Chains A and B, each alone.
Chain A
Amino acid sequence: MPDTATGGAASEIFRSWDEIRLDQALLLVAAAALLIAAVRWFVPKLASWVPERFRFRILPWEPILRVAILALLGLKLLPIFIQPTTENLLAIAGASAVALGFAFKDYAASLVAGVVALYERPYRAGDWVEIGGVYGEVQSLGLRTARLKTPDDTEVSVPHGLIWTQPVHNANSGARDLMCVADFYLDPDHDGEQARRLLTDVALTSPYLNLERPVTVVAAEKPWGTHYRLKAYPFECRDQFQFTTDLTLRAKALLRQGGFTAVTAPVATGGV
């Protein structure tokens, strides 16, 4: 009878309760947890000791090591709970695949994306990225998600799976600095050369400016005025907000002093 046969096969897959070494299993789980905690502590620590250029090579190993530890734990636990025959393993693998496929489709996609992200490196720990409309610094890379800290000090977990469907904007891509842009909107009736020099000098006198990188002023004429973009690099990514604020506030004050008039809001143009 089919039902009996199935029941018999199932009973042979798992070991009987008396055969299961529960203490050994618990010990393995505890050891794995301890090892994962050690990896979580040690890898960032190691990354902070080594020179900056090695930091980004070391940090990605943290999630890889964790996956390896979990995989090893699974392999060790398997023979404790089941009879490790070829048929049993195939049955379990098949059942797991179906279960994963249905229940953890998105989860699995994120896990795979996480592995892909480790190699393709669309972002690394320390990068300033925008994914799915969230801008922030990548704090850590987990198996399923990347943890971002926004400028408002909010931690956001972004699933790696988003890299399949969303563009990833990486502002520094492993570099120590990134370009900052301060925008100014001026009444079009002014001396553009003077405005450019003034904005350049504002950047050159900022304490946050990385002088090894260029300072650029880009002007564009719009129907409602002149749009200036002051582009420069701070010493470090973490200075970006203070830097942009410093540029904006000092340039505003100097532009006002120099007789420039700001355009308060774009004016709609065109036919009625």
Chain B
Amino acid sequence: MSVGWPIDELVLLPDFRPPAEPPAQAARGRLRRLWARLRRERRDEEGPAPDSLERPDGAKCQPVLPRGGPETALPGLEGLLDGWMAGPAGPARVVVAPPGAGVEALLRAFAGARRHPVLEPPGRTELLEPQRLDAAWPPADPSRPLVVPALERWLLRRASALATFRRLVERLVAWPAPLLVGCDSWAWAYLRRALELERQVAEVWAPAPVEGSGLCRWLAAPFRDRGLELFDGRSGRPLAGPLPEAGASGEDAAPSAVFQRLAAASRGNPGVALALWRTELRTRDDGDCSSWWIEPPDENELPRLPRDADRALDLLLEALLIHNGIEPELLAELVPGAGGTAPRLRELERAGVVAGEGGELVVTPAAYPTVRRRLAQQKLLIDDL
């Protein structure tokens, strides 16, 4: 039985706690890796030798990846969302989510299912002309609930575009029917500091972080459904078997330990977890795809930032995240002094850190943890999730 996108609960933003790898387990893992490196062996006798495994291409991976996007999480959340939209009009409820979590798609699916009008964002350059908003307002019958699935698409970090954004917020605050807003966590981090947006909304929610057990249910489901074998490449233990009991420890907890590591690395973000999962999938190189292994990739297999990463590059990445993707031409204007933006972006693209998506550049989910860590180290703006 396939399992849907693993967002089944929303939590208030201040209550968000990212999953953590248990300290003892993390320390054991580090020691084991060190020992394995010293002994030059990465797995015990149950698993095949590392040389006989390959990193499969996209087509080979496809059948063993979870089906369905973020919209499949709707059944678990529609009760809560319906309750909000049936309530009295008032300050908006905002759902903040990190890149890749799929909240925009989820809210669009919800609005589509309930036939709620959706406020579509204009092109980014149109935000430089605040009067355009006046011409297109109201976007729907003001007596009906409104869904704004991606508030960040209304943001352009330019002074004249900020005026448009303020005008939009004034209008949204005055919307006479219930209002549901989705916003990227990086844009929210910027907006709540720059415009004190938090004071103008009722509540700020976030998808509950997906823990190891949730990832285990979701990511191992295709293997269970197809009767394929899935092993921990390091220990050789099976991963697609019955779910471990709550509170299990030692040998019994092995599958959840693998997934808990993934949950901690992705900070409970299913989109990022899925991207990392893809980098860890291994199968035999002889074409037999009945058995699969999970093997943490070598450092050089993951997207890496250039060695000469400097302040200009950090600011480019930060701008990309705040806008949740932006056209390269606009990006160059947003980061003054980042001379030679185009070659740097090409370098990031080659390294798999950014990718083109509908004419815009975005930070790839697999590179997201690295980029977030880098920006945090540099004490730049980071999101709350």
Enumerate chain A interface residues (CB-CB to B < 8 A): 176, 198, 201-202, 204-205, 207-208, 211-212, 235-236, 238-239, 242, 245-246, 249-250, 254
Interface of chain A, main secondary structure:
helix
CB-defined A-B contacts under 8 Å, sample of 21: A201-B159, A201-B162, A204-B159, A204-B194, A205-B157, A205-B159, A205-B161, A205-B162, A207-B157, A207-B315, A207-B318, A207-B334, A211-B194, A235-B380, A236-B379, A239-B311, A245-B336, A246-B337, A249-B336, A250-B336, A254-B160
Residues of B within 8 A of A212 (CB): 193
Residue pair A198, B159 in contact (C-beta under 8 Å):
yes
- With A235-B379, A236-B379, A239-B311 already in contact, the answer to whether A207 and B336 are too (CB < 8 A) is yes
Which of A204, A245, A254 has the most C-beta atoms of chain B within 10 angstroms of its own C-beta?
A204
A226 to B235, CA, bound (A): 72
Residues of A within 8 A of B162 (CB): 201, 204-205
B163 close to A (CB within 8 Å): yes
11 extra interface residue pairs, beta carbon distance < 8 Å, beyond A211-B190, A235-B379: A198-B159, A201-B163, A204-B194, A204-B195, A205-B161, A208-B315, A211-B193, A212-B193, A242-B336, A250-B159, A250-B336
Enumerate chain B interface residues (CB-CB to A < 8 A): 157-163, 190, 193-195, 311, 315, 318-319, 334-337, 378-381
A205 to B333, CA, bound (A): 12
Min distance, Cβ A195 to any Cβ of chain B, angstroms: 12
Residues of A within 8 A of B318 (CB): 207
A235 to B334, CA, bound (A): 16
Min distance, Cβ A111 to any Cβ of chain B, angstroms: 36
Residues of A within 8 A of B194 (CB): 204, 211
Which of B162, B190, B335 has the most C-beta atoms of chain A within 10 angstroms of its own C-beta?
B162
Interface of chain B, main secondary structure:
helix
Residues of A within 8 A of B159 (CB): 198, 201-202, 204-205, 250, 254
Which of A201, A208, A242 has the most C-beta atoms of chain B within 10 angstroms of its own C-beta?
A201
Residues of B within 8 A of A250 (CB): 159, 336
A245 to B195, CA, bound (A): 23
A256 to B318, CA, bound (A): 29
Q: Which residue of B lies closest to A208 (CB)?
A: B315
Min distance, Cβ B338 to any Cβ of chain A, angstroms: 9
Residues of A within 8 A of B315 (CB): 207-208
A250 to B193, CA, bound (A): 21
Residue pair A246, B158 in contact (C-beta under 8 Å):
no
Which of A211, A212, A236, A249 has the most C-beta atoms of chain B within 10 angstroms of its own C-beta?
A211
A182 to B194, CA, bound (A): 19
A238 to B311, CA, bound (A): 10
Q: Which residue of A lies closest to B378 (CB)?
A: A235
Choose among B195, B319, B337 the residue that contacts A242 (Cβ–Cβ < 8 A). B337
Min distance, Cβ B141 to any Cβ of chain A, angstroms: 33
Q: Which residue of B lies closest to A257 (CB)?
A: B160
A236 to B159, CA, bound (A): 22
A245 to B147, CA, bound (A): 40
Q: Which residue of B lies closest to A199 (CB)?
A: B159
Q: Which residue of B lies closest to A215 (CB)?
A: B194
Pick the 5 closest A-B CB pairs, nearest first: A211-B193, A201-B159, A204-B194, A207-B315, A205-B157
A205 to B165, CA, bound (A): 12
Q: Which residue of A lies closest to B194 (CB)?
A: A204
Residue pair B379, A207 in contact (C-beta under 8 Å):
no
A79 to B310, CA, bound (A): 54
Min distance, Cβ A203 to any Cβ of chain B, angstroms: 9
A204 to B322, CA, bound (A): 13
Residues of A within 8 A of B190 (CB): 211
Residues of A within 8 A of B160 (CB): 254
A236 to B377, CA, bound (A): 12
A175 to B381, CA, bound (A): 17
A134 to B160, CA, bound (A): 38
Q: Which residue of B lies closest to A251 (CB)?
A: B159
Q: Which residue of B lies closest to A201 (CB)?
A: B159
Min distance, Cβ A196 to any Cβ of chain B, angstroms: 13
Min distance, Cβ B324 to any Cβ of chain A, angstroms: 16
A211 to B336, CA, bound (A): 18
Residues of A within 8 A of B335 (CB): 207
Residues of B within 8 A of A201 (CB): 159, 162-163
Residues of B within 8 A of A236 (CB): 379
Residues of B within 8 A of A235 (CB): 378-380
Which of B163, B318, B335, B336 has the most C-beta atoms of chain A within 10 angstroms of its own C-beta?
B336
Residue pair B319, A207 in contact (C-beta under 8 Å):
yes
Q: Which residue of A lies closest to B337 (CB)?
A: A242
Min distance, Cβ B333 to any Cβ of chain A, angstroms: 10
Q: Which residue of B lies closest to A211 (CB)?
A: B193
Residues of B within 8 A of A176 (CB): 379
Q: Which residue of A lies closest to B195 (CB)?
A: A204
